[in-house]
Amino acid sequence: MSQTYPYGPTITSLNAILQPGFLQRLFVDSLKPLLVYRDIADKEIFPGRIGQTITMTRIGLLTPNVNRLNPATNNTLDNGMSVQNAQQEQYLASIGQYPQNAGMVNLADNEVYIADLIAKNTENLAWAIATTINRVAQNNLFSAYMGGNTRITAAGTTVTTISVDDVRGFMTVLVNGVVTAVSSSNPLNITINNVANTVTGFTIDGTNTSTAINIGRPYSGSTSGGALVGDEGGISGTLTIGTAATVVVAQAVIGLYAPQIVRPNAKTTTLALATTDLLSFDALLTARDVLVNNGIPKKDGWYHCFLGSSSMSQLYRDERFDLLTRGRGTGDKDWEDGVIDKVLGIKFHETTEVYQQSISSTGVTVQRPILCGGGTLIEEQFDPGLDAIRSMADLNAIGTLARVDTTQEEAAGAYMYLRKPLDALGENINQAANWMGGYAVPSDSTSTPNTIRTANNAYFKRSVILETA
């Protein structure tokens, strides 16, 4: 939609800043998000095309042999040894396009103003794309590590179908390392209020009522073979269980292979959190123990904790945390770098892009700091597509293409495109940006007590969510 001014047509969204004689043409820096989640991802080139989903394979560890070689059988070419093949597991990787359009700018105006507007659009496009990349990373990370932990939303007596707040983590199971939809022949072991049961099927509600939403919109996509499309938060639905059970609202439903979520004061569900369940030094130690016990490596020498300012303030007020850091001023180099204690090996990163959730029935705003180790995320990059677009722009001379630079590292696969005027009067230019990429969350189901004695059963082991008030 456009509106005509003496110097030419403009889109409605620019009318307020283009009104001559009313507004001073001065651009002031706007607020910007603090972006962190992409930093934890390892980078790899995606070998497929946009829209494809590729199955990646990861090789697990060999089970250590603790049996002595029998001299009586040491008389063959294999010295009497049995062949042991390492277990394999698979995860899915895909990429998509995430465009951002700043709209038309009309050149028939003051040149200084036009230059300012184009520069501001360029900066805004860079931040918008950087925030998109950060949120896609966050959404994939939390979707995996919140899966398999939910609660009953409707009571029932001797029922075989239960209503739950979030079906993520209950829709697939690994069969010989292959991601497979749950069924009667491929059930998923669970507990309902600490009583063992199984899941043999699921359905997604037509209207999503899950409270486990992220900053973005709740899930509104579809499923294909048990795989989620466009997941940005909790997905309410029903689970078909193998053994009839009597259930009560708010009871915990936890999958056998669910990642461990740390909550203060032994709370078992998100709904059980009270305003006094704050982030503490003990909770942080528990989360670190989970990573260490699973043999999770550090990234760049640290475990990385991403959290909001509210959570960081709670930690500052914790007595044990205060005792640990006493005598170290804010001018200390480690404080400047976000390294609170080198013994714990944890580096803290404050962000405005936190995964929050408001529980109206309890008045609690749930905070979700997350502690991450190495290999938590893999960023799938698609530079070949960017190279082709650049070559075409140079060949036809119809536009200028540049990579998007932000305060973070250069965003591979992201670019800003300034299209030259195509209209008859040569007045209207267009600025847009795009990112071609995606994130995969690898599993570690083959790391079990057989290979790492302190490991747990979780499919996803490399991060731990701390749910607090």
CB 201 within 8 A of CB 240: yes
For residue 405, the model assigns a pLDDT of 40
Beta strands in 148-281 (DSSP E): 149-151, 156-164, 172-175, 178-181, 188-192, 195-204, 223-224, 227-228, 237-247, 252-255, 261-262
Query: Residue ranges of the domains in the chain?
Result: 32-61+86-146+259-469, 149-257
- CA–CA distance from 428 to each of 202, 266, 420 (Å)? 51, 61, 8
**Alpha-carbon span 443 to 62, nearest angstrom:** 17
Which single residue is written with the structure tokens 């795989």? 227
d(CA 341, CA 343): 5
Q: Six-digit token pair at 325?
A: 């850091």
What 8-state DSSP symbol labels residue 407?
S
**Residue 68 contacts residue 95 (beta carbons within 8 Å):** no
Closest CA to 373 of 10, 131, 42: 42
Closest residue by Cα to residue 317 from 365, 354, 352, 281? 281
Contact 201, 245 (CB under 8 A): no
CA-CA distance, 202 to 103, in Å (whole number)?
Answer: 43
Q: Specify the pLDDT at position 404.
A: 45
- Only one residue has tokens 């998923």, namely 188
Contacts of 253 (CB under 8 A, 6+ apart): 150, 151, 152, 162, 164, 170, 190, 191, 192, 239
pLDDT computed for residue 185 by the predictor: 96
Angle at 131 between CA 29 and CA 381, to 5 degrees: 135
pTM metric for this prediction:
0.80
Kindly provide the b/e burial profile for residues 309-339, where b requires at least 16 CB atoms within 10 angstroms of the residue's own CB: ebbbebbeebeebeeebeeeeeeeeeeeeeb
| pLDDT tens-place values along the chain, 469 residues long | 334 433 344 455 555 555 444 444 444 555 667 778 888 898 888 887 787 778 777 777 777 777 888 888 887 877 878 777 777 777 778 888 888 888 777 777 666 667 777 777 877 887 888 888 888 899 889 989 999 999 999 999 999 999 999 999 999 998 887 888 999 999 999 999 999 999 999 999 988 888 887 644 433 444 433 333 334 578 899 999 999 999 999 999 999 999 999 999 989 999 999 999 999 989 999 999 999 999 999 998 999 999 999 999 998 888 887 777 665 555 555 555 555 545 578 888 888 888 888 888 888 999 999 999 999 999 988 877 666 676 666 555 444 444 444 333 345 677 777 777 878 888 888 888 888 888 999 888 888 888 888 999 999 999 999 999 9
In one-letter notation, the amino acid at residue 387 is: D
Residues 464, 371: contact at Cβ < 8 Å?
Answer: yes
